[in-house]
């Protein structure tokens, strides 16, 4: 097939930005010019436009690619990642639905021997995990609580059973998130605050290494400390709300 064309590279870049509408328009042009390259062209690592659409949450681009013959279960040369793995990593449930509707194989294991469901759970991406296996709402929810440290430690292996066969996790307190969407919103917000806290701690550590280099560095450290306290305070409040549910 040869190296990807400039237009293919343009579509790749647009999709990577998560611009589904523009990506679709450019993709339509590429399909009209070279359908095989649009659906089966890939990078040196074996990543297709469908992988990129799955990674960036471009559900419409993914749908168009599949309708024109893209392989829903194609795995990359590097990491043996399928488009479903990328949707799971990035927490894009709508793309996961599109892929599953096209008969994407959810049982494929990547180079780490992980299924898309396992990848979703290990990243705390509960929305896409429930799309990958909607029959296990309670297990996925409990695993998510355990993974984010929002429930007491479960017996060895119990919290990971949602990712594969095995005993059910220990019963968690609180309502089943599948029947209470507000809990999902709380959990997503908490995850965002925890991620912000980790980033702020890292930035604060770096700023402290430059202590004494000037007033600007000192002011930056003070601002980072204030932001970190605010993020940690928000996380504590959200955890209390979850405990009360």
Residue 8 and residue 47: Cα distance in Å, rounded? 12
Residues 98-149 have pLDDT tens digits of: 999 999 999 999 999 999 998 988 887 878 888 998 876 666 666 665 655 5
- Least trusted range by pLDDT, from 112-116, 191-195, 205-209: 205-209
Give the whole-number percent of the chain exceeding pLDDT 70: 69
Instruction: Report pLDDT for 142.
Output: 66
Q: Name beta bridge partners: 42.
A: 48
Instruction: Report pLDDT for 198.
Output: 75
**Higher per-residue confidence, 181 vs 65:** 65
Q: Between 3.30.565.10, 1.10.3720.10, 3.10.129.10, 1.25.40.20, what CATH number should domain 1-74+86-107 receive?
A: 1.25.40.20
Residue 54 and residue 96: Cα distance in Å, rounded? 8
Instruction: Report pLDDT for 156.
Output: 36
pLDDT above 50 for 88? yes
Residues 152-187 have pLDDT tens digits of: 444 334 444 445 533 333 333 334 444 456 666 667
* DSSP-assigned letters across all residues of the chain: --SPPHHHHHHHHHHHTT-HHHHHHHHHHHHHH-HHHHHH-B-TT--BHHHHHHHHT-HHHHHHHHHTT--TT---TTTT--HHHHHHHHT-HHHHHHHHHTT--TT---TTS--HHHHHHHTT-HHHHHHH-GGGHHHHHHHHHHHTT-SPPPSTTTTTGGGSSSPPPPPPSS--GGG-HHHHHHHHHHHHHHHHHHHHHHHHHHHHHTTTS-HHHHHHHHHHHHHHHHHHHHHHHHHHHHHH-
Confidence of residue 28 (pLDDT cuts 50, 70, 90): very high
Contact in structure between 84 and 103 (CB atoms under 8 Å): no
Sequence-distant (6+) residues with CB within 8 A of 88 are: 96, 116, 117, 119, 120, 123, 125, 128, 129, 132
Enumerate the domain spans of the chain. 1-74+86-107, 180-245
Instruction: Report pLDDT for 238.
Output: 73
Residue 35 and residue 10: Cα distance in Å, rounded? 15
**Higher per-residue confidence, 70 vs 215:** 70
Residue identified by tokens 């995850």 is 191
pLDDT, averaged across the chain: 79
């Amino acid at each position: 097939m040869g190296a990807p064309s400039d237009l293919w590279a343009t579509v790749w870049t647009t999709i990577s930005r998560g611009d589904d509408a523009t990506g679709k328009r450019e993709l339509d042009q590429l399909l009209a010019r070279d359908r095989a390259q649009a659906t089966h062209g890939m990078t040196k690592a074996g990543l297709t436009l469908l992988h990129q659409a799955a990674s960036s949450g471009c559900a419409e681009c993914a749908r168009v690619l599949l309708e024109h013959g893209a392989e829903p279960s194609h795995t990359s040369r590097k990491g043996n990642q399928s488009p479903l793995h990328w949707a799971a990593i990035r927490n894009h449930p709508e793309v996961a639905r599109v892929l599953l509707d096209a008969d994407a194989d959810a049982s494929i294991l990547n180079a780490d021997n992980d299924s898309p469901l396992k990848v979703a759970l290990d990243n705390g991406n509960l929305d896409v995990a429930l799309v990958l296996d909607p029959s296990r709402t309670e297990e996925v929810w409990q695993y998510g609580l355990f993974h984010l440290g929002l429930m007491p430690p479960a017996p060895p292996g119990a919290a990971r059973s949602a990712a594969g066969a095995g005993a059910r996790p220990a019963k968690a307190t609180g309502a089943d998130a599948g029947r209470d969407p507000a809990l999902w919103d709380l959990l997503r917000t908490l995850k965002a605050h925890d991620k912000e806290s980790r980033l702020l701690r890292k930035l604060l550590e770096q700023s402290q290494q430059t202590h004494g280099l000037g007033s600007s560095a000192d002011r930056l450290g003070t601002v980072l400390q204030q932001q970190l306290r605010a993020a940690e305070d928000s996380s504590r409040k959200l955890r209390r709300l979850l405990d009360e549910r």
